[in-house]
């Protein structure tokens, strides 16, 4: 199993379960044992692949009876998710994280393919780069994405 990226395999496994149900509860140690990895590998996958930017809400309870609950959220059904995305964007966001948010909006059917491509072009580093100032590009990207989210929130 080490010849393939274990994180990708674990992500695929969890997403297959989520395709059948709206949320799952897992025990880190059980999933780690299933894939012959350390529990911190499961944490890594969840923290990097199941983020709010990617359309997931994660809740965990530590301790002996602890669990990790992962839920795929529908953005329009949950204004709190849009608020969370706005908080994540803040005053600056990287191109990678901004792209993840746009893709989530597309997969949640809040944006058409054409709209998503236009926004991705608008937040692309080449579109926003001014005098090689990455910090300025990240601030402009955050302003654009925040505006998009606020328009989605208050639309019809």
- Cα separation, 79 vs 85, whole angstroms: 10
> Does residue 127 contact residue 133 with C-beta atoms inside 8 Å?
no
- Cα separation, 102 vs 89, whole angstroms: 12
Residue 3 has pLDDT above 70, yes or no: no
Output 14 or 153, whichever has higher pLDDT. Answer: 14
- Confidence (pLDDT) at 133: 92
Query: Token digits for 93?
Result: 């966001």
Unique residue bearing structure tokens 């995305």: 85
Hey, what CATH class is 79-154 in? mainly alpha
Location of each CATH 1.10.1200.150 domain in the chain: 79-154
Fold type of domain 6-72 = Phenylalanyl-tRNA Synthetase; Chain B, domain 1 (3.30.56)
């Amino acid at each position: 199993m080490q010849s393939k990226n274990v994180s990708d395999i674990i992500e695929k496994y969890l997403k297959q379960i989520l395709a059948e149900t709206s949320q799952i509860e897992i025990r880190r140690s059980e999933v780690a044992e299933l894939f012959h990895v350390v529990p911190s590998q499961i944490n890594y996958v969840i923290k990097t692949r199941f983020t709010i930017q990617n359309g997931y809400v994660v809740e965990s309870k530590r301790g002996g009876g602890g669990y990790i609950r992962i839920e795929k959220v529908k953005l329009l059904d949950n204004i709190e998710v849009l608020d969370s995305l706005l908080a994540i964007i803040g005053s600056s966001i990287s191109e990678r994280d901004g792209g993840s948010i746009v893709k989530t909006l597309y997969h949640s059917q809040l944006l058409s393919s054409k709209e998503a491509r236009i926004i991705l072009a608008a937040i692309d580093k080449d579109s926003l780069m001014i005098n090689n100032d990455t910090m300025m590009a990240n601030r402009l990207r955050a302003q654009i994405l925040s505006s998009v989210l606020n328009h989605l929130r208050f639309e019809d």
